[in-house]
Amino acid sequence: MCGRFVSSSKPDKIAEYFDASFAAEPLPVNFNVAPTNDVYGVVAAPDSGGEQREVQAFHWGLVPTWAKDTKIASKLINARAETIAEKPAFRSAFAKHRMIIPMDGFYEWKRDMETGEVTKAGKPVKQPFFIHTTTGEPLAVAGVWSTWRDKAQGPDAPWLHSCSVVTTSANETMSYVHNRMPVMLPESAWSAWLDPDNDDIEALQALLIPAPDDLLTMHPVSTAVNVVRNKDASLLDEVTPGAARDGQLPLG
């Protein structure tokens, strides 16, 4: 799955990297993006036939057009690649509303199977890891989006644009910490994925595969990332594994 990620690139850099125009209010730099936060998304520009791209802002947690309210969003932060074309919550978005979610890395948690250590509440202690590209380039993560508005407010109710991250099985690198990972699209797949007129479901699903094993690297970070209000760059500092229980000692 994907439950936290980093969005630290400046808007102009994101637009340049994805050959897109910027069509959103700038969002704060966030080293601990959590569900329900607003995030950047790259989509096909309206009426461009998929030839042009825009960077827009979306609420992380999909709200399907048929939803009665926004409560469902917290349950729809991720869409599984294996079932995205069939699930009622995602199939329409997958067919017509695909996007790329730029990430500068993401977090995942690994349980210490050797010690079996647990918290005071009896839950397994988990070590967070920061996962990013070996080159430092942004990740182009596959996503889907939807629009929704509260019909009870009438025809002038504002539209909510929301999204989900598409996930797939882990590659060898990611399997060290988790059995799932976000789908990361190579540049060669961007146009096909974003084209709203592309209705080749079989070909689109063929893009939803684990990333190459050598794309990513990772290191342990402080459990400070567990607290969503912590959002500064120090969350990326490498720590000694297990130091989370002893004050989090940075390496170096």
Phi, psi of 6 (to 5 degrees): -110, 135
pLDDT in tens, 99-158: 999 999 999 999 865 445 555 556 778 999 999 999 999 999 999 999 999 888 878 889
Q: Report which secondary-structure segment, H or E, holds 56.
A: strand 53-60
Which range among 90-94, 129-133, 208-212, 247-251 shows the weakest confidence by mean pLDDT?
247-251
End-to-end C-alpha distance for the chain, whole angstroms: 31
In this prediction, what percent of the chain has a pLDDT beyond 90? 81
82 within a domain of the structure (yes/no): yes
CATH number of residue 153's parent domain: 3.90.1680.10
- Burial pattern 67-95, b for ≥16 Cβ within 10 A else e, equals beeeebbeebbbbbbeebbebebbbebbb
239 within a domain of the structure (yes/no): no
More confident residue, 84 or 113: 84
225 within a domain of the structure (yes/no): no
Taking the C-alpha atoms of residue 95 and residue 193, their distance in angstroms, rounded to an integer, is: 10
230 within a domain of the structure (yes/no): no
The answer to whether the beta carbons of residues 103 and 139 sit under 8 Å apart is yes
234 within a domain of the structure (yes/no): no
The 10 Å Cβ neighbour count of residue 161 is 19
Domain that residue 198 falls in: 5-116+134-214
Over residues 62-87, the mean pLDDT reads: 95
Which range among 118-127, 128-137, 165-174, 222-231 shows the weakest confidence by mean pLDDT?
118-127
182 within a domain of the structure (yes/no): yes
244 within a domain of the structure (yes/no): no
Closest CA to 35 of 62, 8, 57, 10: 62
What is the tally of structural domains in the chain? 1
**Residues classed as catalytic:** 2, 108
pTM of structure: 0.92
203 within a domain of the structure (yes/no): yes
pLDDT in tens, 53-65: 999 999 999 999 9
